[in-house]
Amino acid sequence: MHANWKTWAHVTKLDPDKHLPPGTIEEIVTSGTDALMLSGTLNVTRENLHELLDLVSSYGLPLVVEPASPDCAIFDGAVDHLFVPSVMNTNDVRWIVGKHYAWLRHAESVDWEMVVPEAYIVLNPNSAVGRVTGADCNLSAGDVAAFVEVADRYFRFPIVYIEYSGTYGDPSIVQAASDAAEHATLYYGGGIRSAEQAAEMGRIADTIVVGNAVYDEGIDVLRATVRAVQ
């Protein structure tokens, strides 16, 4: 039975390339967050992904892997879902469909029940994900709304993910995305470092994702972001 990701209000993103002090994992999984997403852009390997998975898998919290590359698309028994991103606002087709083709061309088997496609709209040009994917981040609210509509109504992505990656986004842009999304679940990630920011984006998006704050601000801030949306 796979976890029902549509009901999550708060997801904590952990990066296989970053390290947490001993004991922190236990504090994260007991913070009240609905799920853990194992995800990063740079230096993510099958090895460090499995190392992180080994640390978190025994706590019973829903686990999502967001593969940075085809070799990180793992179907480990501990993982509930594979959230597979396609970047809407890039001209580099590899990040829309190319990596996905490469993955399926060489995959031995795929548990499609686990796979959830995500339409990513990347809006921080200085982020690693923005640079790596060549995303055009200079978008108006109308541009973002149109991308959301393409993802939601045309391609029927179940998740649309507004990704500001490390910087706090523009609530009016996220609101435009929310207004345009009819069926898709709207995820917001980027720069949430306080209860106030969590509450603000949590009112607009269905699900907020908190990542860097875990490493930079600590567990008390993470707990505050959970309380703000639940």
Tens digit of pLDDT for each residue in 82-108? Answer: 999 999 999 999 999 999 999 999 988
Does any domain span residue 120? yes
Q: How many domains does the chain have?
A: 1
**Alpha-carbon torsion 170, 68, 7, 227, what sign?**
negative
Asked if residues 226 and 31 have their Cβ atoms less than 8 Å apart, the reply is: yes
Does any domain span residue 1? no
pLDDT given for residue 19 in this prediction: 86
Structure tokens at 217: 């601000």
Structure tokens at 199: 């509450």
Query: Quick one: pLDDT band at residue 42, thresholds 50, 70, 90?
Result: confident
Does any domain span residue 148? yes
> 130 — phi, psi (to 5°)?
-65, -45
Domain of residue 98: give its range: 8-229
Does any domain span residue 25? yes
pLDDT digits (tens, 9 = 90+) for 113-132: 999 999 999 999 999 999 99
∠ CA 11-52-113 to the nearest 5 degrees? 60
Mean pLDDT of the residues in the chain: 94
Bigger pLDDT: 224 vs 72: 224
From residue 171, alpha-carbon distances to 176, 177, 210 in Å are 9, 10, 16
Does any domain span residue 117? yes
- The SS3 assignment for 152 reads helix
Structure tokens at 149: 């509509």
User: Across-strand partners of 63?
Assistant: 36
- As annotated, the binding site for sn-glycerol 1-phosphate includes 13, 161-166, 191, 211-212
Query: Quick one: pLDDT band at residue 2, thresholds 50, 70, 90?
Result: low
Rounded average pLDDT over 107-111: 90
User: Across-strand partners of 162?
Assistant: 121, 188
pLDDT digits (tens, 9 = 90+) for 141-198: 999 999 999 999 999 999 999 999 989 999 999 999 999 999 999 999 999 999 999 9
Pairing between strand 63-66 and 35-39? parallel
Q: Is the pLDDT of residue 1 over 60?
A: no
Rounded average pLDDT over 7-29: 92
Pairwise CA distance, residues 69 & 192, whole Å: 25
From residue 187, alpha-carbon distances to 1, 18, 120 in Å are 23, 23, 9
- As annotated, the binding site includes 13, 15, 41, 161-166, 191, 211-212
Residue 21 one-letter amino acid: P
CATH number at residue 149: 3.20.20.390
- As annotated, the binding site for Mg(2+) includes 15, 41
